[in-house]
Amino acid sequence: MDLNPPPFSAFRHDGLSLRYFDEGDAAGEPVLLIHGFASSANVNWVYPGWLKTLGDAGYRVIALDNRGHGASDKPHDPQAYRVPKMASDAAALLDHLAIPEAHVFGYSMGARITAFLALGHPHRVRSVVFGGLGIGMVTGVGDWDPIADALLAPSLDAVTHERGRMFRAFADQTKSDRAALAACIMTSRDLLSAQDMARIDVPALIGVGTKDDIAGAPQPLADLMPNARALDIANRDHMLAVGDRVFKKAVLDFYAEIGA
């Protein structure tokens, strides 16, 4: 299995056409991957090697382009991007593929979507991996309004906000619909309470780079959950932690340990 994009299929949910891939061993344990903000299934999971890593280990690997991202439909209404709606897309994909239960692995915004999926559809989620989002799941991840402003600016040169420049450059690189992303960032930051996190009782792994200034620390989030462990991904920031070899090994060990 290589790092080239696999073929994508489409399904419809909530009036939207959503794209996904379904690769790896069809008889293997299913792992559903949910990417982060301004990313896509390819950018988050194929190019950094996750599809290859999980596929080579014998898993059935499924990933969707979230609404507003990749090749999926891109509404410009901020209300379309409430996290429970995005989590319902993931549940609908499992329905579409007739998969009753899956391991779910989300990165950054995808971790938040994964948490809402585990709360709203607990019988569909066998385990969770939260990447790139720690206690910020509960306490927030700072002021993201400048991100929307940066996405809607006439050019990258017009953006002075440091984090805004990072995400604007990323959106330009991935040729994203910037108006859809601006709508998404306005409403996709719904927080979870400590009580909510305590209700997620499936095995959980939380991996965050030690240089990540967005996610918040992983251990305080793990402490809120009954069956969670934290992983510090050494010397990686928010963008680089996702493809880290230490993270990949930890995820494979985690799945092996819980009997996947």
Domain-located, residue 159: no
Q: Which CATH number do you get for residue 106? A: 3.40.50.1820
Domain-located, residue 77: yes
The neighbouring-strand residues paired with 2 are none
pLDDT of residue 211: 97
pLDDT of residue 173: 87
Report how many domains make up the chain: 1
pLDDT of residue 252: 98
pLDDT of residue 23: 97
pLDDT of residue 176: 92
pLDDT of residue 210: 98
- Structural domain containing residue 248: 9-140+191-257
In order along its 260 residues, the chain shows pLDDT tens digits of 567 899 999 999 999 999 999 999 999 999 999 999 999 999 999 999 999 999 999 999 999 999 999 999 999 999 999 999 999 999 999 999 999 999 999 999 999 999 999 999 999 999 999 999 999 999 998 778 899 999 999 999 999 998 899 889 989 988 899 999 999 998 898 899 999 999 999 999 999 999 999 999 999 999 999 999 999 999 999 989 999 999 999 999 999 999 85
Q: What is the 3-state secondary structure (H, E, C) of the chain?
A: CCCCCCCCEEEEECCEEEEEEEEECCCCCEEEEECCCCCCHHHHHHCCCHHHHHHHCCCEEEEECCCCCCCCCCCCCHHHHCHHHHHHHHHHHHHHCCCCCEEEEEECHHHHHHHHHHHHCHHHEEEEEEECCCCHHHHCCCCCHHHHHHHHCCCHHHCCCHHHHHHHHHHHHCCCCHHHHHHHHHHCCCCCCHHHHHCCCCCEEEEEECCCCCCCCHHHHHHHCCCEEEEEECCCCCCCHHHCHHHHHHHHHHHHHCCC
Domain-located, residue 242: yes
pLDDT of residue 3: 79
| Both tokens assigned to 98 | 């007739």
Domain-located, residue 178: no
Domain-located, residue 166: no
Contact 225, 199 (CB under 8 A): no
Contact 106, 84 (CB under 8 A): no
Domain-located, residue 218: yes
Q: Measure the CA angle with vertex 181, ends 64 and 148; round to 5°.
A: 150
Domain-located, residue 184: no
Domain-located, residue 1: no
What whole-number distance in Å separates Cα of residue 79 and Cα of residue 75? Answer: 9
pLDDT of residue 2: 65
